[in-house]
Structure 1
């Protein structure tokens, strides 16, 4: 029964029951038929009260008011003397909502949408609302390109005036784009223009990218990209005349046609500045990317506006507004561009706030701030502070907002929101390394110890060939201006005869010592490091140790105490402390044993990497490690146990760790005493050398189907490098005397690094493309936990 028919029924009823009545004064109001709706709700909606005069008109108005509440499906008014009797039939309530067949839109989202529309369990059921919701769902599926989708509803009566709603959905399939046609273009080919679209016709990659699935929102974005393509190439009057989207009869294919009017190409005739610049005009002109004679580009114009805005922001004019206003000259197809500068008031920082740092103390973040409270709000300093937070390596994400202070037109708050790493700065040493086997122990290192920003490491680690005891601590802000202080204690016992099954110069070495390091900041991106370490080493040759090891022990002995002084310089402009994608870093370090040491030698090391963006989500990484060491004074060459090695995860992937470089001839028996004779058996063993050259290139890209790109890195890589010795022994067969490219290993492959809760996990699959003589390959390599 619809609303009009109900009103007619009420009118007839009133005419029948109140015929010839001139009205009456209501002495009481009685409501019959209520079940869930309270009487108070009826009286609140009823425009009549006890004591009011009732007539036909007012009774009809009362009926209409009660129907508007939506609670009732039938209303009858009657009179018993001067008592107004209202008899109602309530609408049923929703007992249950059952949704079937949905996948593209989750049931939770559908229930939430129904509730917002007024359909929920316990609510009054109205069929009009259900029909409206059904139509809206149909429209949503069409917007997703699911033209064959159907949405049916069924109302099932239940006891106690309730109903069950059944919504049956057949989502169908997303219509695939079969053709994109651009009409009216003559300057650019259809292929060039369609290449700007995110929507694509079906191709062999569409299964992974889903870029052939039509969606109205995606098409709107593509049309804007098409418009920008023309505007950035001088076609200032380009217009999209119309767009047609056609559906095949089976509703599985989509055909898109875009009609364009290209217009003429415009060049820049003049560039002007207007407004209050606030900074020297020559500094603003230096930021003008738009020059006379250039082809007009909206992108270049807006980029120039952004540069000027940021320059004003660096001076505290945070609310500056710079607009590039193009004025076309249709006669000669030129355009005059005026940059209108409205600096607004200089803004000052009221408060700097931090959010999301549940583990890290506020002071750790605040000491990285270059923007100060009370000073004018500098865009450069605010962004620099954000970059310093990202470089700490504690946070997966850092964002900043500068909202205006309520009631103030010259003050802003600076709010930094951080997302801390799931573990991020914690690396447990419990794990497995392919080259070392099972690693057991309780060693743990944390670069953000207890949220203080200090580095701490303590524990015991044991593997098949090595035992390590360590205690280390570094305070990066030993002084308020950023001078760092670190110290460490260590004991290492290594037996290389258990490290490799074959192919290595066997010996064992026990080392213990302590050291301290000072770091001094030079500027925002670089610092100097000074350190001193005292280390005691004890060497024991193995059954098949190389001749050079016996020779070294005969000359120098088996036990040494050395004092190692370090001087280093480091620089980093990386955008993040963990898994960076932009910027560069480099480190130079000189280590030399000082007077009082048993051995005299030095080592110079250089490590560098740079990231070059390719797209918003991909980049190229170039990296290198170089090293040179030698003896001085009475020490003949670099001690063999200080030699560089190459190969493995952190070096040249695809080759077994430590097996690249000089190889020697092992002896047949143990070294006993000075002058004892020994004879080589001719078996080749890796020895390492005093010259290290490694490097390579990687193409970094996001892993498919993984949303968290901040903790996972995927790359295609090319590695190369080896180790050389500047001194040739009689038994040395390769990589000695000179650096030879013929003996440099190289490989290509695929690598994955995941910064997990247990620390970094690395995997690589590599194929050697240049294999030096006697080099040992290892196609698949991985490690997790602390790497060795």
Structure 2
């Protein structure tokens, strides 16, 4: 009969109980291979095993985290290792998790070993619970309660359910800045995203404490001082105290302002590659000015880009200050180390599962096997972004292995849906009830072609349009497009004199790139109109355009577009010069000349100021007048808000607008994120100011006829189309003006 001894029980036995291991047997394993247990067991066949060695062996197996019980037994000369495996986590669920992203929480848990199909560990569960609380605390949720419940799932599994009561975020009761003498508390707090006093702060969440936002505010405070000469500014400490009920936070920031320093001298050292005369215009600083860290950084970036255009991809421009503490001056030397000149060996593209490579490559301004140029690489990235096909565009320039004179361009993109099908019902103050449907594909079969089929049925206009565009008909970027369209128009809903018209047309388009930002396009259209008078009597000038008429229209459009985005522009210009002429061969003879300019200024973190100006002129030739249905009209949601649609301009004897031949229009808008909806890019608020007027044939162009308004608005690029609400206060009016303070449009653009 074999002898069985439980070695745990003999750890304190005499040394005589030690024995030589003739064999090793593993028992109790299920998911874990026996070989894995042998690998962790610090005992081999032939070893002499005593109490101390047994203790070490048991500890080694426990330390793996695989087992909840380990026993060593002796059966004659055989060492028997009995183990009980820990259960496996079969499921992790969350209840009440709203303020944090679940994928980020799971990623943090994974670092503790707590994830699906891994061994369950009580210590890992405790660490995960504390980590979840820490993440909430970092967002200002100090009253959060996290309970982790475990339930058995079969014999070898465990389900974990985290039940969370988030509570309310702690509000900032006070922000105190200690040590400031040159600037007031109010001025410095204006630089913060957090606040303790702003009106309606609860709407934007600015009074909710979060550590990351505080760190950003401290950096904003540092930048504010260092951009105003305080070279030695320091934040000595920042203390955050929590109220006993964990609902309020008190922030104290201790600073040392230091003296103001002025720039005594500027210079370049090292190998500047290009003549210094080309670099000085890139430095927005002058001697005698207050030192500004942001201006120094702009100088470094601009000089680096210029040197990068010479092929030096790894140029290093380092500002070296020489500070005179007694005179409070600083001499700034920009030390230039160009590094090695490189070429671009290869351009690689990944992430484009639908978009063809050639569609992306043709937007590159940096070519393969050509000298590296920073500005061309940056412009390439901008052009690819402007396509609108991708949610994310990332461009890297790794060195080529084994070569110090070449780099690769690795472009990774994340595609977004470029097709859209929509059917919707909308309403506008012009059209009334509006039915709209459209099929659009801006990247047809991944080729970059644009196809659009749209139908809009409203109270004034019923429009059907089919459009196809090939943006790269030639490799040089000449575009080719065609349009087929049909419109029915009935002005009974409008304040202008009544008429109805059917218009059908076929048009061809050619576009020509003139430079990186300039483009010219030609459009030749063949149209037929059938116009009928309404209930009001028309004059002889209007009657000659009734009935069926044919038109041959040639339009030339010259465009300058440097906007950073075509969907949500925040920076750049868009200027348009448009000329259209009704050619001989048709029944009308007139010119339509127009120009418009829009400039975008980024302000704050996600806001934009837009300035727009539009002018237009209509003129007949060969003794013919301008068709009345082509005249300019102003007033309404898309021109001068606060006034009745199409109401601004000359009127007939009955007081109905008849349109004009000269148009002046100006629009200014401040677009900003809606408080509480900063992450939704399609939602914006607006503050605006409009002015404009339309002049008749015999009217002189004077500013005293201009009307003006100011107001607030709401913008939403909704799934069924743009939505706009505007409330305007007319500020320049005259007796008889038809006002309309509230105007909105849903589902179409007027």
TM-score where L is the length of structure 1: 0.83
- The aligned counterpart of 2:212 is 217
Which digits, 9 at most, give the CA deviation of each residue in 1:681-731, with x for residues without a partner?
A: xx443322222222221111123343565544542222222322124xxxx
- The aligned counterpart of 2:661 is 690
Say if 2:501 and 2:529, in contact at 8 Å, map to a contact too.
Answer: yes
* Equivalent residue for 2:611, pick from 622, 642, 654: 622
Give the 3 Å change call, closer, same or farther, for CA 383–471 of structure 1 in structure 2: same
The 3-state SS of whatever aligns with 2:580 is strand
Say if 2:533 and 2:546, in contact at 8 Å, map to a contact too.
Answer: no
Say if 1:517 and 1:532, in contact at 8 Å, map to a contact too.
Answer: yes
Aligned-residue offset at 1:312: 0.8
Residue correspondence of structure 1 range 329-340 to structure 2 within 5 A: 329-340=324-335
- The aligned counterpart of 2:693 is 722
Say if 2:430 and 2:493, in contact at 8 Å, map to a contact too.
Answer: no
- The aligned counterpart of 2:561 is 572
Which digits, 9 at most, give the CA deviation of each residue in 1:143-188, with x for residues without a partner?
A: 3444444556677789858777676655454333222233333333
* Equivalent residue for 1:749, pick from 704, 711, 735: 711
* Equivalent residue for 1:520, pick from 502, 512, 516: 512
- The aligned counterpart of 2:533 is 541
Say if 1:503 and 1:684, in contact at 8 Å, map to a contact too.
Answer: no
Residue correspondence of structure 1 range 488-637 to structure 2 within 5 A: 488-494=483-489, 496=490, 499-501=491-493, 503-546=495-538, 548=539, 550-553=540-543, 558-635=547-624, 637=625
Matched, 1:653 2:648: no
Give the 3 Å change call, closer, same or farther, for CA 626–168 of structure 1 in structure 2: closer
Give the 3 Å change call, closer, same or farther, for CA 55–322 of structure 1 in structure 2: same
Matched, 1:14 2:11: yes
Residue correspondence of structure 1 range 348-427 to structure 2 within 5 A: 348-392=343-387, 398-418=393-413, 422-423=417-418
Q: Take 2:138 and 2:463, find their aligned partners in 1: how far apart are those partners? A: 61
Aligned-residue offset at 1:61: 3.0
Aligned-residue offset at 1:323: 0.8
TM-score where L is the length of structure 2: 0.87
Question: Could you tell which deviates more after superposition, 209-218 or 367-376?
Answer: 209-218
Q: Of the two, which has the highest radius of gyration?
A: 1
Which digits, 9 at most, give the CA deviation of each residue in 1:200-220, with x for residues without a partner?
A: 225443312323333333333
Question: Could you tell which deviates more after superposition, 411-420 or 336-345?
Answer: 411-420
Aligned-residue offset at 1:529: 3.6
Say if 1:428 and 1:758, in contact at 8 Å, map to a contact too.
Answer: yes
Which digits, 9 at most, give the CA deviation of each residue in 1:624-646, with x for residues without a partner?
A: 332222323332x3232322222
The 3-state SS of whatever aligns with 1:687 is coil
Question: Could you tell which deviates more after superposition, 771-780 or 376-385?
Answer: 771-780
Q: Take 1:428 and 1:33, find their aligned partners in 2: how far apart are those partners? A: 63
Say if 2:366 and 2:377, in contact at 8 Å, map to a contact too.
Answer: yes
Aligned-residue offset at 1:195: 3.3
Aligned-residue offset at 1:319: 0.9
Which digits, 9 at most, give the CA deviation of each residue in 1:538-562, with x for residues without a partner?
A: 443334233x2x4543x67745444
- The aligned counterpart of 1:639 is 627
Give the 3 Å change call, closer, same or farther, for CA 563–700 of structure 1 in structure 2: same
Matched, 1:54 2:80: no
The 3-state SS of whatever aligns with 1:197 is coil
Matched, 1:477 2:435: no
Give the 3 Å change call, closer, same or farther, for CA 424–581 of structure 1 in structure 2: farther
Give the 3 Å change call, closer, same or farther, for CA 394–188 of structure 1 in structure 2: same
Give the 3 Å change call, closer, same or farther, for CA 26–537 of structure 1 in structure 2: closer
Matched, 1:299 2:261: no
Say if 2:15 and 2:51, in contact at 8 Å, map to a contact too.
Answer: no
Q: Take 1:158 and 1:606, find their aligned partners in 2: how far apart are those partners? A: 72
Matched, 1:24 2:19: yes
Give the 3 Å change call, closer, same or farther, for CA 24–364 of structure 1 in structure 2: closer
Say if 1:26 and 1:82, in contact at 8 Å, map to a contact too.
Answer: yes
Question: Could you tell which deviates more after superposition, 777-786 or 518-527?
Answer: 777-786
Give the 3 Å change call, closer, same or farther, for CA 346–426 of structure 1 in structure 2: farther
Which digits, 9 at most, give the CA deviation of each residue in 1:215-273, with x for residues without a partner?
A: 33333333333333333333333333333333333333332223333333333333332
Give the 3 Å change call, closer, same or farther, for CA 74–569 of structure 1 in structure 2: closer
Say if 2:149 and 2:161, in contact at 8 Å, map to a contact too.
Answer: yes
Q: Take 2:412 and 2:725, find their aligned partners in 1: how far apart are those partners? A: 32
Residue correspondence of structure 1 range 456-467 to structure 2 within 5 A: 456-457=451-452, 463=458, 466=461
Q: Take 1:611 and 1:491, find their aligned partners in 2: how far apart are those partners? A: 34
Give the 3 Å change call, closer, same or farther, for CA 264–568 of structure 1 in structure 2: closer
Say if 1:747 and 1:769, in contact at 8 Å, map to a contact too.
Answer: yes
Say if 2:21 and 2:78, in contact at 8 Å, map to a contact too.
Answer: yes
Q: Take 1:96 and 1:459, find their aligned partners in 2: how far apart are those partners? A: 48
The 3-state SS of whatever aligns with 2:652 is strand
Q: Take 2:701 and 2:563, find their aligned partners in 1: how far apart are those partners? A: 32
Give the 3 Å change call, closer, same or farther, for CA 415–772 of structure 1 in structure 2: farther
Give the 3 Å change call, closer, same or farther, for CA 19–155 of structure 1 in structure 2: farther
RMSD over aligned CA atoms reads 3.8
Q: Take 1:511 and 1:32, find their aligned partners in 2: how far apart are those partners? A: 88
Q: Take 2:437 and 2:255, find their aligned partners in 1: how far apart are those partners? A: 68
Q: Take 2:155 and 2:502, find their aligned partners in 1: how far apart are those partners? A: 85
Question: Could you tell which deviates more after superposition, 425-434 or 606-615?
Answer: 425-434
Say if 1:429 and 1:461, in contact at 8 Å, map to a contact too.
Answer: no
Say if 2:283 and 2:298, in contact at 8 Å, map to a contact too.
Answer: no
Q: Take 1:443 and 1:169, find their aligned partners in 2: how far apart are those partners? A: 44
Say if 1:284 and 1:308, in contact at 8 Å, map to a contact too.
Answer: yes
Q: Which has the higher contact order (CA 8 A, sep 6+)?
A: 1
- The aligned counterpart of 1:679 is none
- The aligned counterpart of 2:3 is none
Q: Take 1:131 and 1:443, find their aligned partners in 2: how far apart are those partners? A: 54
Question: Could you tell which deviates more after superposition, 265-274 or 691-700?
Answer: 265-274
Q: Take 1:642 and 1:154, find their aligned partners in 2: how far apart are those partners? A: 73
Say if 2:420 and 2:439, in contact at 8 Å, map to a contact too.
Answer: no
Q: Take 2:166 and 2:466, find their aligned partners in 1: how far apart are those partners? A: 61
Give the 3 Å change call, closer, same or farther, for CA 403–655 of structure 1 in structure 2: farther
Say if 2:7 and 2:54, in contact at 8 Å, map to a contact too.
Answer: no
The 3-state SS of whatever aligns with 1:271 is strand
Give the 3 Å change call, closer, same or farther, for CA 175–492 of structure 1 in structure 2: closer
Q: Take 1:598 and 1:123, find their aligned partners in 2: how far apart are those partners? A: 81
Q: Take 2:296 and 2:136, find their aligned partners in 1: how far apart are those partners? A: 39
Give the 3 Å change call, closer, same or farther, for CA 407–52 of structure 1 in structure 2: same
Question: Could you tell which deviates more after superposition, 169-178 or 271-280?
Answer: 169-178
Say if 2:578 and 2:594, in contact at 8 Å, map to a contact too.
Answer: yes
Say if 2:421 and 2:437, in contact at 8 Å, map to a contact too.
Answer: no
The 3-state SS of whatever aligns with 2:670 is strand
Say if 1:625 and 1:692, in contact at 8 Å, map to a contact too.
Answer: yes
Say if 2:495 and 2:645, in contact at 8 Å, map to a contact too.
Answer: no
Aligned-residue offset at 1:604: 1.6
Matched, 1:256 2:227: no
Aligned-residue offset at 1:596: 4.4
The 3-state SS of whatever aligns with 1:686 is coil
Q: Take 2:464 and 2:158, find their aligned partners in 1: how far apart are those partners? A: 71
- The aligned counterpart of 2:37 is 42
Say if 1:10 and 1:75, in contact at 8 Å, map to a contact too.
Answer: no
Structure 1: which 5+ runs fail to align? 1-8, 666-682, 728-736
Say if 1:394 and 1:577, in contact at 8 Å, map to a contact too.
Answer: no
The 3-state SS of whatever aligns with 1:352 is strand
Say if 1:527 and 1:569, in contact at 8 Å, map to a contact too.
Answer: yes
Q: Take 2:529 and 2:95, find their aligned partners in 1: how far apart are those partners? A: 73
* Equivalent residue for 2:672, pick from 696, 701, 705: 701
Which digits, 9 at most, give the CA deviation of each residue in 1:594-642, with x for residues without a partner?
A: 444444332222222222233231122122332222323332x323232
Q: Take 2:169 and 2:330, find their aligned partners in 1: how far apart are those partners? A: 45
